[in-house]
């Protein structure tokens, strides 16, 4: 399981301020921590970055790789910022990852960059016309992206399919559809296609204390479905791994030693699998 450390995102206030001031300290501190906690790639999410995106991405890539011997995931919709980042990326630590192409024609040029710089590319299974309705629609879009990747010269082994995790608080039925899509994606090629998710979106909008619980058990469910990698908090995922046996026992219908944990896992699984309707207080019911 490859963890792509998610913490360096422009959405976080501290990171955004550091990006604006080009203050290396917080960026390197967070990157180092993610690396120590088990990330294999560091995500650098600079947002749409319409102005000065090229400079910012180069600064991010070099700032991260100065202290962390890992590849970087270049996360922006600005293709020229991605290319700028790819030019300075130190491939000694591994090949870079691009986040992302999709079935939207505006995102096709990303594949050219992937081929040119031999980068891994994330293919988000959405088109121009809104969100996919179910696993089948995600797979159909995945097939389009795969065909296009080959056409542009990106080998299928270098493509990560992303089924698009949605918020459980508003789109509960998609939690299971995404798990199903991860299974379907793997069957679309031999060797199986690689998969990735933006994990923490599952708990976006949920109360703060509920978020790590949903993140962890959803991650383990995806892992059981064969997920290859996740953009996630490495610390949280390490914790998840330490609870994997508990979750598998609950799934197998066994009673585990820790009743509080058993309840927490059972209720969370019920919500993920759509057996109970999500509410912010679901753990208290």
Partner 1 sequence: MAFTPAKETYSGKVYSVAIGTGEGTGTVGGENVLPFHSFEGAAPNRPVIAFEIQDVPPADWPESVKKPFEAVSDDPVKWARFCQDELKAKAIALRLVGTHPDRENRSAEDAAKTVKDVLAAVNVPLIILGSNHAEKDAPVLVAASEAAKDKNCVIGKAQEANYKTIAAAAMANNHKIIAMSELDINLSKQLNILITQMGFEKERLITDPMCSALGYGLEYTYSVMERIRLAALTQNDATMQPPMLGDIGMYVWKVKETQAPEADLPHWGSLEERGIAWEAVTATALLVAGAELLIMRHPKAVEEVQKTIEELI
Q: Which is nearer to partner 1, 91 or 170 (CB)?
A: 170
Q: Which is nearer to partner 1, 254 or 280 (CB)?
A: 280
Answer yes or no whether residue 176 interacts with partner 1 by CB under 8 A. no
The correct pick among 28, 32, 62, 172 for binding partner 1 (CB under 8 A) is 172
Answer yes or no whether residue 209 interacts with partner 1 by CB under 8 A. no
Answer yes or no whether residue 188 interacts with partner 1 by CB under 8 A. no
CB of 197 vs partner 1, minimal distance in Å: 21
Instruction: Candidates 23-31, 103-111, 167-175, 254-262: pick the segment binding partner 1 (CB under 8 A).
Output: 167-175
Answer yes or no whether residue 284 interacts with partner 1 by CB under 8 A. yes
Distance CA 249, CA 269 (A): 12
The correct pick among 22, 25, 170, 242 for binding partner 1 (CB under 8 A) is 170
The count of residues interacting with partner 1 (CB under 8 A) is 12
Q: Which is nearer to partner 1, 14 or 280 (CB)?
A: 280
The correct pick among 20, 133, 150, 277 for binding partner 1 (CB under 8 A) is 277
CB of 276 vs partner 1, minimal distance in Å: 6
User: What's the 3-state SS for the chain?
Assistant: CEEEECCCECCCHHHHHHHHHCCHHHHHHHHHHHHHCCCCEEEEEEECCCCCHHHHHHHHHHHHHHHCCCCEEEEECCHHHHHHHHHHCCHHHCCCEEEEECCCHHHCHHHHHHHHHCCEEEEECCCCCCCCCCHHHHHHHHHHHHHHHHHHCCCHHHEEEECCCCCCCCCCHHHHHHHHHHHHHHCCCCCCCEEEEEHHHHHCCCCCCCHHHHHHHHHHHHHHCCCCEEEECHHHHHHHHHCHHHHHHHHCCCCCCCHHHHHHHHHHHHHHCCCCCCCCCHHHC
Asked whether the CA dihedral 111, 115, 116, 117 is positive or negative, the reply is positive
Q: Which is nearer to partner 1, 260 or 285 (CB)?
A: 285
Instruction: Candidates 10-18, 91-99, 109-117, 274-282: pick the segment binding partner 1 (CB under 8 A).
Output: 274-282
String marking each residue 114-153 x if it binds partner 1 according to CB under 8 A: ----------------------------------------
Site residues, partner 1 (CB under 8 A): 169-170, 172, 275-281, 284-285
């Amino acid at each position: 399981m490859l963890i792509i450390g998610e913490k360096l995102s422009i959405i976080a206030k501290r990171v955004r301020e550091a990006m604006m001031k080009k203050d290396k300290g917080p960026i390197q501190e967070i990157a180092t921590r993610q690396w120590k906690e088990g990330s294999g790639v560091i995500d650098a999410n600079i947002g749409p970055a319409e102005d000065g995106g090229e400079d910012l991405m180069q600064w991010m890539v070099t700032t991260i790789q100065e202290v962390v011997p890992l590849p970087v995931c270049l996360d922006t919709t600005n293709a020229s910022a991605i290319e700028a980042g790819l030019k300075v990326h130190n491939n000694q630590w591994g090949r870079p990852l691009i986040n992302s192409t999709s079935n939207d024609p505006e995102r096709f040029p990303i594949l050219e960059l992937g081929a040119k710089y031999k980068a891994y590319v994330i293919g988000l299974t959405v088109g121009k016309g809104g969100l996919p309705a179910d696993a089948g629609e995600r797979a159909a879009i995945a097939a389009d992206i795969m065909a296009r990747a080959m056409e542009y010269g990106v080998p299928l082994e270098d493509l990560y399919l992303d089924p698009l995790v949605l918020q459980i608080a508003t789109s509960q039925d998609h939690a299971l559809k995404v798990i199903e899509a991860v299974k379907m994606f793997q069957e679309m090629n031999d060797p199986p296609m690689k998969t990735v998710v933006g994990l923490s979106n599952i708990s976006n909008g949920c109360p703060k204390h509920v978020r790590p619980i949903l993140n962890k058990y959803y991650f383990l469910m995806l892992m059981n479905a064969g997920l290859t990698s996740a953009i996630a908090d490495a610390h949280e995922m390490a914790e998840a791994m330490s609870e994997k046996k508990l979750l598998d026992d609950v799934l197998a219908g066994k009673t585990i030693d820790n009743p509080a944990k058993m309840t927490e896992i059972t209720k969370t699984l019920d919500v993920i699998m759509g057996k109970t309707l999500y509410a912010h207080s679901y753990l208290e019911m």
